[in-house]
Amino acid sequence: MLEAFRQLIAYNGYEAIASGLLAAFTGQIIKFTLFTVQTKKINFKIFTTTGGMPSTHSAGVMGLSTIVGLLEGFDSVLFAIAIGYSLVIMYDAAGLRRAAGKTAASLNRMMEEFYNHDLHAVGGKLKELLGHTPLEVFVGAIYGILFALDFHLWVIGYFG
């Protein structure tokens, strides 16, 4: 079964899609594990939330970009498009979404004071963990690159 999967995705767009998705998914597993170890609490919502270590957006887009570079060449137009897309996503994660999260935190504090700690009166608390620190983005990007390299070696049969 695994051999058929490897043959199906080897050296084509399926390998790139699989690498990006699996890098992001396994990054979410790492994020869940780190959260569980740090807080000693199990919270399955971590699998569907943004923010936290590592950035799975960064892992996914860099996993995709790395495979595109390996398959098409790091000097190809396709790689240039993929890495450009990745840089926009990572900038957004560390910049725009992080700023939105800080704004939400400020608004939540203001609304708690204004409504005497009853945020349900205004529809509930705004989501604060939206973006990433630059370190979370960097670690996610490095993880995505390493994942893609290992995944490609597995697909071509280097690991058995």
Q: Concatenated DSSP letters for 103-131?
A: HHHHHHHHHHHHTTT-GGGGTSPPP---S
- pLDDT value, residue 92: 82
User: Collapsing DSSP states into helix, strand and coil, what is residue 73?
Assistant: coil
92-35-125 Cα angle (round to 5): 60
Joined tokens for residue 119: 């945020």
What pTM value is reported for the model? 0.75
- pLDDT value, residue 39: 82
User: Which residues in the chain show pLDDT less than 70?
Assistant: 50, 95-132, 159-160
